[in-house]
Structure 1
Amino acid sequence: MSFGSEWNHMYQETKHQKPNFTSAFGLLTHLEVDELRAYLNDDDKFENIVKDVKELKDIETEKEMVMASNRSLAEFNLSKEPHFNRRKQEIQHLSEEGEHIFNNIEAKSKELSQKGPNQSLETTLALLQTAAAEMEEESEELAKKFLGGSLDIDGFLEQFSTRRKIMHLRRVKADKMT
């Protein structure tokens, strides 16, 4: 049984009970009128009779138990406050991060739709494959010029390696798209 349900059970159990004052009245029924007046005129004596009633003692004990359990529950809740605050900050941070990511995606989506709203993936793939083929042809032309003697070795190596690198990158991108 959890702490809260235990308290609720205790409250429900005593909620409808009414004190039975017969034991207190039993003592008073045997007293003479003068003795009763003495109790009425002396608040301390009257309080002592009331305090001796078992039901009132039980209610007082129950009140103390409820207050102690309430204090215990409050202390338990307060002990959870640092953990709660850390989690709250984590959630806030993740929420801000998610909002930032969402805004980036939205901006990139908008940018993409403005750049090529009519260009399909197939068209992009075809253009990429064509550009790779053109780079390959250019690098082959450089090789022919070098073999023909119209291009020195330093110029050939620099231009050939650059064009081949671009050609291979475009082919890899085209392969990834298929």
Structure 2
Amino acid sequence: MADELTREQTLRRLQAAMDAPVRQPGSEALARDVLRLFAENFSVLMAKLVDKIHETLADGQRHDTLTLDPSQSVAVSLIVWPGSYVEVQIDRVGKYLDEFGGMVKFLIESGVALEALLQIDVYVTDDQFAADGHPQDERPDIGVEYTFAPAELFGSTVEARPEWRTLVLNSGLLTQAERAALETLAN
């Protein structure tokens, strides 16, 4: 259970998962670039994420937090999901882009001069046994997925720096209409 897990165990597992996302190999480089802007408060950011992981393991609910560095105009949304990546995806189809875009629009409408949003989805389980019935030595099981977009795609007047003029999305969670809209935007 979550109370048996130490913060250090969870942090170690989280850091390993952040270096090897479950989708979009290579997206961790962009995430690291964004997170460098939070270097002064990085340990605080990671502590918040570990807290959310333990809350999720304790109550089986999704837990979110948003961190904004106003001087950099960059936001990081942290979402911890109860369950594995595969288990959670079915509930996210068709809601994913609306939730992400809604967060960007909320920040812009709140007066934030937003350049970009990085969303870190963390999928967490604390099963004592793997699917094959063998005991798991490394608990909790953590998977990470990154979503990233320059805020100008959602109406911000702040232009993203050249190296951030990219979109990282889980296309498997998009509806046909969302895919078509993104294709039109890309052209």
Q: TM range, normalised to the smaller chain?
A: under 0.3
> TM-score when scaled to structure 1?
0.18
Q: Which structure has greater helix proportion?
A: 1
Q: Select the structure of larger CA radius of gyration.
A: 1
Higher RCO (Cα < 8 Å, 6 or more apart): 2
Q: Which structure has greater strand proportion?
A: 2
> TM-score when scaled to structure 2?
0.17
